[in-house]
Amino acid sequence: MNRRSISRIRSVAERVLRQIWHDKRVLAFMFVVPSLAMLLFGFSFAGDIRGVRMAVIDQDQTDLTASIIDNLQHDSTFSVTQIVTDVSDPQQLLLKSGYQAIVRFPKKFTSLYYAHFAMGVATSAQGTIDLTVDESDPQIVAAVKMGLADAVMNLGEGGPIDIQTRELYGVTVRFIDSFAPAIMGMVVAIVCTVLTLLSVVREKVDGTFARIWVSPVRRAEFILGYIAAFGLIAIGQSFLVMSIGKLVFNIVINGSIFWAYVCVVLFAIGNVGLGALLSAAAQTESQAILFFPLVILPSVLLSGMMWPLQAIPKLLRPISYLIPLTYSNRLLRAVMVKGLLPWQEPVGFAGVLLFVLLTILSATFVLRQRASE
Amino acid sequence: MTDPAIETEQIVKVFGKRRAVDRVDMQVSVGEIYGLVGPSGAGKTTLIRMMCGLAIPTAGSVSLFGHSIPKEREAVEERIGYMPQERAVYRDLTVAENLLFFGQIYGMNRKTIAARTDELLALMQMPDLEKQRADLLSGGEKQRLSLACTLIHNPELLLLDEPTIGLDPALRSEFWDHFHALKQNGRTILLTTHYLEEAGRCDRVGMMRLGSLVAEGTPDELRGRVSPDGTSVSMEQVFLELTQASKSERSNA
């Protein structure tokens, strides 16, 4: 390598740096993406599960149960918002009132507990806590069981307590069972957003966009065309994820597969809108690629896909509620794992519908603006 | 009396502090080939984009067949064919698939499109390339495909932005033969070009410089202004002299 060669290498490097310097968007992304990645990964992995919504049914009402409840209230894992003395069906309370766990101290809990304490191994009687927990997220279940065991252990006295868990959905839900609906949403989000974004930007770069706007095609028709294509792709992708999940991992699908497809297609529509919307901010394909980490990173880390929202630090949780995948996860888990109909999970359903409405309307508006500058 | 195919009145387009088009008045009659000539940056593309409704005029008006653009664009959109400066074809579709798509968005059925595809590919001398992907075509073939996509729905008015850019002289000449054949079929063509010698093949020519229409007329009329004694002059000389004269007039004013 001689001096002239080094000089040529320097020229190439200098030219590349100049190009980056001239494109302020690339420059900004170069610093924003690593910072964002480090912050998101750091905060997300560091989080413990906090604020699991819990109700307590205290049918025994003794000092012992009061102490356990006090321990639960002081544990940041839980947010104990209701303490009642009697509810006939804890399962209904959980399903209808949005709790994630219901702890019930049955009558004679305290006497059985102390009987075991007094008689030791001579008796099989022991206090039993009845736990009803939303099993659609196994990480929440594990955190609830651990927190409840800690609350009892912290008493520092007495015999063993049996925690009996009710299987809410008829089967034991594993991590993969609650992860599969999230993967479906994630795949649809990435493919629809990224491909729409790239396709629309490519139309702009190649000039086909201008040719289309001069034709009788309307903005809404253009978007609907994309929606139809990606809706079909989303159905195909979901079929693949569900089939592999069922055949290879034997995942639990408690609910209606039809409604699962409906929800996936709805979510796909929103993501097509998001892709079209983002395309307004990119003039070239390389600029469009810069958006990928911005779409993918927060969705993977903050949507409740990998770990429950309660495990995400409070500082970042408002961002979670702005991420469409958060609502899709909630909705698809409710439909596939809990066996509910979409509208029986109002938060997830409304979130996905709002996402669809906002992105499609704004994309149509933005494309109209862009087409007639 | 029939409306002119294109009419602009004092049309202006401003981008930031730059006047891309400055008070242009022009009329193109039905069945005419009108060439907008001028160097890059003269405002030809912006003017044609305003005619298509792709850019909104800052001031003034433009109408196609008597319909104001962009307000009444719907009334004329099926009568116009626009060929942008970029080749504007789908790289990952075949030649036939491109033509199918652009035919379908104008409401044509598959059978009609198939017949029209055969006709256009024969006209463009690319009959064996029907199944070829657009990204595998040569530059000239892509340009021909782009023109075929513009012609697929048989528009009455063709707005062609630099249709011959990048073509070799032989292919450019072929394109001009197509344009004259289209004119014979009653089509109106407005095209932009920065090849000044092509102006001589238009029925009328508008010469643009820095956003203004500095001269307009038939090629002979324009030559006559520069050489009243009938000495032969090239369109390049005509352009240089007329733009120089316009510059002097402006500075005197």
Query: What gap in Å lies between CA A251 and CA A241, rounded to an integer?
Result: 11
User: Under an 8 A CB cutoff, do A214 and B55 touch?
Assistant: no
What b/e sequence results for B178-207 when a residue is b if at least 16 CB atoms lie within 10 Å of its CB, and e otherwise? bbeebbeeebbbbbbbbbbebbbbbbbbbb
User: Under an 8 A CB cutoff, do A373 and B56 touch?
Assistant: yes
Beta carbons of A372 and B70 less than 8 angstroms apart: yes
Pick the most confident of A200-209, A228-237, A322-331, B195-204.
Answer: A322-331
The predicted structure's pLDDT at residue B190: 96
Please list the residues that pair with B213 across neighbouring strands.
B208
Q: Which of chain A's residues have a Cβ under 8 Å away from the Cβ of B90?
A: 206, 208
Query: What gap in Å lies between CA A322 and CA B93, rounded to an integer?
Result: 37
Pick the most confident of A21-30, A37-46, A194-203, B8-17.
Answer: B8-17
Rounded to the nearest integer, the mean pLDDT of chain B is 88
**For range A267-276, the mean pLDDT:** 89
Compare CB distances from A213 to B54, B106, B149 and report the shortest one's residue.
B54
User: Under an 8 A CB cutoff, do A211 and B88 touch?
Assistant: yes
Please list the residues that pair with B161 across neighbouring strands.
B192
Alpha helices in chain A (DSSP H): 3-22, 24-46, 63-73, 90-97, 109-119, 138-153, 175-206, 208-214, 219-249, 257-279, 285-289, 291-302, 317-320, 324-336, 346-371
SS3 A100: coil
Structure-block tokens of residue A149: 């065991």
The predicted structure's pLDDT at residue A244: 81
Give chain A's contact residues with B (Cβ, < 8 Å): 205-208, 210-217, 371-373
In CATH, B6-87+155-252 is 3.40.50.300 = yes
Name the band, by pLDDT with cuts 50, 70 and 90, for residue A29.
low
Beta strands in chain B (DSSP E): 6-15, 18-28, 33-37, 59-64, 67-69, 80-83, 157-161, 188-193, 204-209, 212-217
Annotate B199-224 with DSSP letters as a single string.
GGGSSEEEEEETTEEEEEE-HHHHHH
| Radius of gyration from C-alpha coordinates of chain A | 27
Q: Which of chain A's residues have a Cβ under 8 Å away from the Cβ of B78?
A: 216
- Predicted confidence (pLDDT) at residue A82 exceeds the cutoff of 80: no
The predicted structure's pLDDT at residue B95: 93
Name the band, by pLDDT with cuts 50, 70 and 90, for residue A64.
confident
Please tell me which residue of chain B has the smallest CA distance to A206.
B88
Structure-block tokens of residue A45: 């992995």
Pick the most confident of A161-175, A180-194, B180-194.
Answer: B180-194
User: Under an 8 A CB cutoff, do A217 and B52 touch?
Assistant: no
Beta carbons of B193 and B35 less than 8 angstroms apart: yes
Structure-block tokens of residue A156: 């520092």
User: Under an 8 A CB cutoff, do A206 and B91 touch?
Assistant: yes
Q: What is the interface size between A and B, counted as CB pairs within 8 Å?
A: 58
Around Cβ A50, how many Cβ atoms within 10 Å? 19
**Using one digit for the tens of pLDDT, what is the confidence trace for A289-310?**
888 888 888 888 888 888 888 7
Please tell me which residue of chain A has the smallest CA distance to B46.
A373
The predicted structure's pLDDT at residue B151: 92
Compare CB distances from A207 to B56, B70, B88 and report the shortest one's residue.
B88
User: Under an 8 A CB cutoff, do A372 and B53 touch?
Assistant: yes
Name the band, by pLDDT with cuts 50, 70 and 90, for residue A119.
low
- Predicted confidence (pLDDT) at residue A105 exceeds the cutoff of 70: yes
SS3 A248: helix
Distance from CA of B165 to the nearest CA of A (A): 15
Distance of CA B81 to the CA centre of its chain: 10
The identity of residue B55, as a single letter, is A
Alpha helices in A23-137 (DSSP H): 24-46, 63-73, 90-97, 109-119
**Using one digit for the tens of pLDDT, what is the confidence trace for B57-115?**
999 999 999 999 888 988 999 999 999 988 889 888 889 999 999 998 888 899 999 99
User: Under an 8 A CB cutoff, do B53 and A213 touch?
Assistant: yes
Please tell me which residue of chain B has the smallest CA distance to A371.
B54
Name the band, by pLDDT with cuts 50, 70 and 90, for residue A71.
confident
- Predicted confidence (pLDDT) at residue A88 exceeds the cutoff of 90: no
∠A236-A343-A194 over CA atoms, to 5°? 35
Distance from CA of A232 to the nearest CA of B (A): 19
Residue identified by tokens 């004092």 is B10
Beta carbons of B142 and A206 less than 8 angstroms apart: no
Containing A188, the helix (H) or strand (E) segment is helix A175-206
Structure-block tokens of residue A291: 């958006």
The predicted structure's pLDDT at residue A180: 82
Q: How do beta strands A101-105 and A52-58 pair? A: parallel
**For range A148-162, the mean pLDDT:** 73
User: Under an 8 A CB cutoff, do A216 and B52 touch?
Assistant: no
Query: What gap in Å lies between CA A311 and CA A329, rounded to an integer?
Result: 15
Indicate the domain borders of chain A. 52-166, 175-371
The predicted structure's pLDDT at residue B46: 94
Closest to A238 (Cα-Cα) out of A180, A193, A194: A180
Compare CB distances from A372 to B70, B87, B91 and report the shortest one's residue.
B70
Closest to A127 (Cα-Cα) out of A107, A149, A110, A139: A110
Preferred mutation among B45, B50, B77 to probe A, highest tally of A CBs within 10 A: B77
**Topology annotation, domain A52-166:** abc type-2 transporter like fold (3.40.1710)
User: Under an 8 A CB cutoff, do B53 and A214 touch?
Assistant: yes
- Percent of chain A at pLDDT > 70 equals 87
Name the band, by pLDDT with cuts 50, 70 and 90, for residue A46.
low
Query: What gap in Å lies between CA A267 and CA A325, rounded to an integer?
Result: 8
ipTM of the complex: 0.87
Compare CB distances from A214 to B52, B56, B85 and report the shortest one's residue.
B52
Q: Which of chain A's residues have a Cβ under 8 Å away from the Cβ of B88?
A: 206-208, 210-211
- Predicted confidence (pLDDT) at residue B25 exceeds the cutoff of 90: yes
For residue B162, the 8-state DSSP code is S
- Predicted confidence (pLDDT) at residue B223 exceeds the cutoff of 60: yes
User: Under an 8 A CB cutoff, do B77 and A214 touch?
Assistant: yes
Query: What gap in Å lies between CA A322 and CA A328, rounded to an integer?
Result: 12
- Predicted confidence (pLDDT) at residue A235 exceeds the cutoff of 80: yes
Structure-block tokens of residue A112: 């059985």
Compute φ and ψ for B146, nearest 5 degrees: -60, -40
User: Under an 8 A CB cutoff, do B84 and A205 touch?
Assistant: no
User: Under an 8 A CB cutoff, do B54 and A371 touch?
Assistant: yes
Name the band, by pLDDT with cuts 50, 70 and 90, for residue B50.
very high
- Predicted confidence (pLDDT) at residue A372 exceeds the cutoff of 60: no
**Using one digit for the tens of pLDDT, what is the confidence trace for B151-204?**
999 999 999 999 988 788 888 888 899 899 999 999 999 999 888 888 889 999
Query: What gap in Å lies between CA A47 and CA A304, rounded to an integer?
Result: 12
- Predicted confidence (pLDDT) at residue A3 exceeds the cutoff of 90: no
User: Under an 8 A CB cutoff, do B149 and A214 touch?
Assistant: no
- Predicted confidence (pLDDT) at residue A352 exceeds the cutoff of 90: yes
- Predicted confidence (pLDDT) at residue A125 exceeds the cutoff of 90: no
Residue identified by tokens 């938060």 is A347
Beta carbons of A288 and A198 less than 8 angstroms apart: yes
